[in-house]
Amino acid sequence: MTRVSPIPEIVTLHVPFRVVKRGGRKEMHLPDGFRPDRKADNTLVKALARAFRWKRMLESGEFATIAELAEREGIATSYMTRILRLTQLEPNIIEAVLDGRQNDAVTLARLMDPFPISWIEQKNIFFGT
């Protein structure tokens, strides 16, 4: 088998993207309209796992107060209460985070700020529906 044209030694690809900081790390954002498969945001997944673990520990009676649990975990009570608040997120938001389908508005920094308890309002804020 013979080739008609030689294979070039160098191939140059131009891919438009921008680098943004997200959750303390740099992330590459591709042009609008192009959405590659996303991986779950490990920072968010870890925070959700901690929140539900701590909630379970409190509900089981293993710890009587948040302050007692925070002391055991070696973290500030205020931080623990902000993370525990993640258990109040609308289930579809939690599922989207675990599947890596959350939009750019869903970041740990944003979720650490107070958000509405109403699931409908949460969906409006984080999914724009």
Of the given ranges (39-43, 69-73, 90-94), which has the lowest mean pLDDT?
39-43
Using the predicted structure, report yes or no on whether residue 1 has a pLDDT greater than 60.
no
Domain-located, residue 93: yes
Q: Can you read off the two tokens belonging to residue 58?
A: 């409190």
First to last CA, the chain: 58
| Assigned domain for 21 exists | no
Q: Give the dihedral sign, CA 60/64/65/69.
A: negative
Buried b (16+ CB within 10 A) or exposed e, 102-114: beeebbbeebeee
pLDDT digits (tens, 9 = 90+) for 11-69: 676 777 788 887 778 877 777 766 656 678 889 999 999 999 999 999 999 999 999 99
Position 7 in a domain:
no
Higher pLDDT, 111 or 26: 111
> For residue 75, what are the domain limits?
38-127
Domain count for the chain: 1
Report pTM: 0.69
Residue 24: inside a domain: no
> Which amino acid belongs to residue 120?
I
17 located within any domain: no
* Inside any domain, residue 30: no
Position 57 scores a pLDDT of 95
**Tokens describing residue 100:** 């890596």
